[in-house]
Amino acid sequence: MKKLILISLISLTGLNAQNFPSEIHFSSDGRIMYRGGLVPVSGFYGKDSIKNVYLNFPQTNYWTLLTNNYASETNIPAQMIYDGLTYDSVGVRFRGNTSYMQVGTSQKKSFSVETDFTDSTQTVLGYNDLKFNNGHQDASFMREVLYCRMAGRHTPVAKANFIHLYLNNQDWGLYPNIQAIDKTFLDEWFLSNDGARFRATVDGGSPGGPGGGPNWGDGTAAMNYLGNNQTTYQGYYTLKSNDVLVNPWQSLIDACYDLSTEAATIWTVSLMLSM
C-alpha cells in the first residue's frame, strides 16, 4: 500500500526521472516506475566492448611493493591509460582475502585502483574506486559479471563487465571489472548516500585479520545480531565512511538487531502455518 501511495504522489506532483537516482526510471508511457536492470549500461561498465587498461609503474620493484603493502592496504602510484586517455598518479594495491591468499604463487592477483589518489577530482567516467577481480575459483570467469547483470533487474547491485589488463605493457589477461559499493553506487540507486557505510572485514577469522580458516562462514560478519557491545562488531566490520551519524556503530547494531528480529518473526509464522 505504501508503494502505491508513493507512486500516486509522484504522479500527482508531476515529478520526472531527473528527480530520482539514475537507476530509477519510468516506462515509456510514464505509468510504471522501474528500478534498475532495464536501461542499457554504457560508459566504464558498458558491455558492448572489452577495453584495455594499462597500469604503468615508475618503480621497477612495483610487485614487491604491492606485496609488502597488501596487509596495510597502502597504495603505490601508477599511471593508468584507459580508452586512449591518461590518468596520472592513480593509487594501486592488491585486494581480496581468499582471492589473494588462495592463489599461491600465481601473479593473477586482484587489483584496487583509486583514481583520486592524489587528485580528488580525477575520475574515470564518473568512477574513482575501481575493482579488477581475478575470478578466483571461477574457471569460466563469467560468474561475477553474469550474476551482477541478472541481479540488477531485481535489486541494487554492482555494474560489471570485463577489461583487459596490462602491467608495464605486459599482458596480464582478462579481468572482471566490478563496480565498488561506494557513495557513487549509492547515488545511482538511492535518494541519499548519507549515513554510515561498513565492510565485513572477516567472517570466522581472527578480528582485524584476513578471513578464511576453519570457521569461515560462521556468520559473525553476516549482519547477524551479536549483542549490544560495539567492540564485538569492530572485530568483524570496518567503518568505511560516515557523514551524519553521531554513533555509526550503533546504527550497525540496530540494523543487525532488526534483521534478526524480522527473520525470527518470519520463521515463527512459517512454522505455525506449516503445523
Residues 129 and 13 in one domain: no
Nearest residue to 216 via CA among 200, 240, 232, 198 = 200
Quote the pLDDT of residue 249: 94
pTM above 0.75, yes or no: yes
Residue 31 has pLDDT above 70, yes or no: yes
User: What pLDDT is recorded for position 226?
Assistant: 92
Pair 244, 179 in one domain: no
CA distance 87 to 119: 10
Same domain, 81 and 205: no
Q: Mark 148-180 as b/e (b = at least 16 C-beta within 10 Å).
A: bbeebeeebbbbbbbbebbbbeeebeebbbbbb
| 137 and 117, same domain (yes or no) | yes
Indicate if 113 and 49 belong to the same structural domain. Answer: yes
Structural domain ending residue among the three candidates 154, 187, 220: 187
Tell me: pLDDT of 146 over 80: yes
Q: Mark which of 187, 214, 233 sits at the end of a domain.
A: 187
Report whether 160 contacts 178 (CB < 8 A): yes
List the grid coordinates of 207.
578480528
Can you give the residue range of the structural domain that contains 226?
194-274
Number of domains in the chain: 3
* Domain co-membership, 51 together with 180: yes
CA 113 to chain centre: 13
261, pLDDT greater than 70? yes
Whole-number Å distance between alpha carbons of 220 and 203:
5
Report strand pairing: 160-167 vs 51-56. parallel
User: pLDDT tens digits, residue range 162-187?
Assistant: 999 999 999 999 999 999 999 999 99
Determine the Cα–Cα distance for residues 232 and 239; give it in Å rounded to an integer.
Answer: 13
13 and 73, same domain (yes or no): no
Asked if residue 231 has pLDDT above 50, the reply is yes
pLDDT at 70 over 90: yes
Same domain assignment for residues 121 and 230? no
Alpha-carbon distance of 62 to 244, in angstroms, equals: 38
Q: Which of 187, 211, 228 is the last residue of a domain?
A: 187
What is the C-alpha separation between 152 and 37, in angstroms, rounded?
A: 5
Read off the pLDDT of each residue in 66-91 and give the average, rounded to a whole number.
97
Which of 17, 22, 53, 16 has the alpha carbon at shortest distance from 159?
A: 22
pLDDT in tens, 182-205: 999 999 998 888 888 888 875 444
Reported as a single tens digit per residue, the pLDDT across 147-161 is: 998 898 888 999 999
Q: For the chain, how many helices (H) and strands (E)?
A: 7, 11
- What integer best gives the mean pLDDT of the chain? 84
Same domain, 147 and 229: no
Residues 6+ apart with CB under 8 A from 164: 50, 51, 52, 53, 171, 173, 174, 175
**Residue 16 CB: number of other CB atoms within 10 A?**
10
- Residue 109, all three cell numbers: 592477483
Least confident of 114-123, 124-133, 203-212: 203-212
One-character DSSP codes across 8-50: HHHHHHT--GGGS-TTEEE-TTS--EEESSSSPP-GGG-SS--
